[in-house]
Chain A
């Protein structure tokens, strides 16, 4: 509605103003997309071209060589495997734990409910930087440093609070009467849940699952501390290796950009799915509708 109003108003306004605004809009868009474009552009260019005096702005005559070299390099696949294994564990556990907890806080009134909600909201805000030294000592004491399980446990705990908060809204949105009506019609509790509630909850589970995936896939701080062995690297740590190498000697930026593109691609695809929900989850209450 308001969009139409402003457009009608702007049509009445002077044309030069509209044109100037459009130019500013395009300019801002270019500034923000440039680093992303530069990553993809450089990923397709051979090192000889990247090392020339003038930058090449369009990857004409580019190739997939950098991607092939990175994937065949021997370190990418183990890091990918590590990241995937952690992501699968984190997503599965987060969804299960958060779903049960969301059910508890949105379907039941019980002593301690408010305290629990308060606690998860605060825990969700705790910075990894304020805890990672202690988490490192914990994992060292139980011999879980440099393991998938060790990192996964910390990630689940870090992600589960916000997942509970996200799912709580979805569960609360499904009236309990629906389930009860189905039970009156002769379905068992489990059947009623599986046939009535679960399908309605699916979008919420997908959104929360993608959120958990993104968090574990992108995480750097905890990984840096808990995975210090080169043989147990997640993708972010693997990428960091290139940055470190760039300090001491000239490195092949084309390959680094190909590597970054490979890491970023699944994230960008998934992110576009959940962006709207994440925004409203973080600022919910402040924006109505």
Chain B
């Protein structure tokens, strides 16, 4: 009794002490850059400032310049388009694979799960070297297969044309993201009882009706969270695009938001504009994340 009582009285400051290291590192490596970025986004901060000139306050000047720059809108449009295409494709394929995992017998299911796990485990950069090799224009296996099928793909360079560049990027991103979606939804599917489905089947429900009227409502929470995560992740896609650009394409024609910031900041040294774009990306992410965070918080309260 006395132990508990003493502890209760002492409690007041302990949690704050425990939080110090985590808060300190977050304030240093996230908080400070965030504030710096907010300030810099209202300044003219280019190459001259790099060499010591004081930055000039321009208010919302950088934001206004960006909003009236057609290239910025092109990049935003591309990013949204790419994000929606990748997220939609990933979700559809992921759900189908999850249903497939449930439908096949045990041996096939294990084979399917092992192959998904291995693809999921691949480090992004290692996966990118492999995909670059698969799509290599000289000796890539993709061109070989297409040529063998009689199509004119010998020595075809996939990365030169922006459209086929995005197609390759889309294939890679979807390949990387499907396993997470498939496993999450497969876990959600365990809540759908086979008896209910069988009863519905006996009552004459078609497979399509069983899917949309029984399975989807039950797994809706997983579906929405996984979709949200995909949208957030695909909106910020950077590594895949940057590494495909490295392999040979014109950056300005294939930039998405992430690579555009990189080019502005480390390429041209225009930190004011780069900061403004960064703030835009952060606001966008926070807005979309709000739903996700809310659903996680519900769990914390329970």
Residues of A within 8 A of B (CB): 1-10, 18, 21-22, 24-26, 28-30, 32-33, 35-36, 38-39, 42, 50-51, 54-55, 93, 96-98, 100-101, 103-105, 107-108, 110, 113, 116-118, 120-123, 125-138, 153-154, 156-158, 160-161, 164-165, 168, 180, 183-184, 217-218, 220-221, 224-225, 228, 235-236, 239-240, 242-244, 246-247, 250, 253, 256-257, 259-261, 263-264, 267-268, 271-272, 275, 279-280, 282-289
Q: How many residues of B contact A (CB 8 A)?
A: 122
Shortest distance between the CB of B148 and any CB in chain A (Å): 9
Q: Which residues of B contact A2 (CB under 8 A)?
A: 102, 189-190, 192-194
Shortest distance between the CB of A248 and any CB in chain B (Å): 9
> Known contacts being A1-B193, A110-B16, is A134 close to B130, with CB within 8 Å?
no
Q: Is the CB of B123 within 8 A of A264?
A: yes
Shortest distance between the CB of A262 and any CB in chain B (Å): 9
Q: Is the CB of B188 within 8 A of A180?
A: no
Q: Is the CB of A33 within 8 A of B266?
A: no
Q: Is the CB of B30 within 8 A of A125?
A: no
Q: Which residues of B contact A29 (CB under 8 A)?
A: 108, 111-112, 114-116
Residue of B whose beta carbon sits closest to that of A217: B123
B151 at the interface (CB under 8 A from A): no
Shortest distance between the CB of B11 and any CB in chain A (Å): 6
Q: Is the CB of A260 within 8 A of B130?
A: yes
Q: Which residues of B contact A164 (CB under 8 A)?
A: 22
Residue of A whose beta carbon sits closest to that of B29: A157
Q: Is the CB of B129 within 8 A of A260?
A: yes
> Known contacts being A5-B198, A130-B285, is A286 close to B175, with CB within 8 Å?
no
Q: Is the CB of A153 within 8 A of B258?
A: no
B61 at the interface (CB under 8 A from A): no
Q: Which residues of B contact A21 (CB under 8 A)?
A: 100, 103-104, 108
Q: Which residues of A contact B3 (CB under 8 A)?
A: 180, 183-184
10 residue pairs bridging A and B, Cβ less than 8 Å apart: A33-B119, A116-B19, A156-B25, A239-B129, A243-B129, A250-B138, A279-B184, A283-B225, A285-B299, A287-B191
Selected from A104, A134, A279, the residue in CB contact (under 8 A) with B33 is A134
Q: Once the chains are docked, how many angstroms separate the CA of A2 from the CA of B125?
A: 38
Selected from A165, A275, A279, A285, the residue in CB contact (under 8 A) with B298 is A285
Q: Once the chains are docked, how many angstroms separate the CA of A10 from the CA of B292?
A: 37
A30, A128, A268 interface centre (most CB from chain B within 10 Å): A268
